[in-house]
Amino acid sequence: MKISVVTAVYNRVATVGEAMASVQAQAHSDLEHIVQDGGSTDGTLDEVARLSDHTTRLVSERDNGIYDAINRGISRATGDVIGLMHSDDAFAHDEVLAQVAERFADPAIMGVYGDLQYVAADNPDRVVRHWKSGEYRPDLLARGWMPPHPTLYLRRQIFDQYGLYDTSFSIAADYDAMLRYLTQGHIKLAYIPQVLVKMRLGGESNRSLERIARKSREDYRAIRKNGVGGFGTLAAKNFSKLTQFLVKDTTKQ
């Protein structure tokens, strides 16, 4: 099973190397790393070129934001299964994609996800939040549940049938897309109960109060657009994040 890992990157010379090394260290060998650069000017392209191997597929071109870049990357992907690796994230261990592929051996499974850790931007060994997602049930969507987006892998036909990311969302297109796949596609998910990805804090959705407010507005639009609830769903989604600061991981790192 060929897995495509898509990385959208723009001026991330300090972290893109770690993301690339994380992909290249995976025990699952049938993979490609689609690097979609937005025209970086800080040395990112030199770093990608220096670290590229036979799995790397780099294109650098101007885009219209992160979701447009991700869409371009997915469109270039040739794998049976597609997932994302943000340019400042890393896999939690080198068996992640092997475990993902194992779950997809069941043809009824359309998506695979796991748990996520948020780590300090300046120290990826310091865990700030632990997102234990748990098993999916459709009724959980109305309570604000979603799979951690950086851990989610989908069969390519899901994108073909239900579309890519809606670029009218500047921050919450991932949430909108996941709700769309789950409500329109009624897809069957498999849960891996361990941390799959470590994500640095300071991303697009949480870097300022203004961005947090915009994220809530866009989350609400996604909730209404996909018919899973209203303000109660949004409140439950935000409230659930509080427990992530308290839960400690006891699974394989």
Per-residue pLDDT, 248: 56
Cα atoms in the 13 Å half-sphere on the side-chain side of 251: 16
Per residue in 84-141, pLDDT (tens digit) is 999 999 999 999 999 999 999 999 999 999 999 999 988 888 999 999 999 999 999 9
The predicted pLDDT at position 128 comes to: 92
Rounded CA gap, 72 and 76, in Å?
Answer: 6
Q: Which CATH superfamily includes the segment(s) 3-245?
A: Spore Coat Polysaccharide Biosynthesis Protein SpsA; Chain A (3.90.550.10)
Q: Centre a 10 Å sphere on the Cβ of residue 208 and count the other Cβ atoms it contains.
A: 10
CA-wise closest residue to 109 among 30, 187, 1: 187
Enumerate the domain spans of the chain. 3-245
Q: What is the pLDDT of residue 208?
A: 63
Q: What is the Cα–Cα distance from 58 to 247, expressed in whole angstroms?
A: 38
* 181, 111 Cβ separation under 8 angstroms: yes
| 111-135 residues labelled b (16+ CB within 10 A) or e (exposed) | bbbbbbbbbebeebeebebbbbbee
What integer pLDDT is reported at residue 92 of this predicted model?
Answer: 97
Structure token pair of residue 19: 């993301």
CB atoms within 10 A of CB 41: 10
Ranges of residues in the chain with a pLDDT under 50 are 250-253
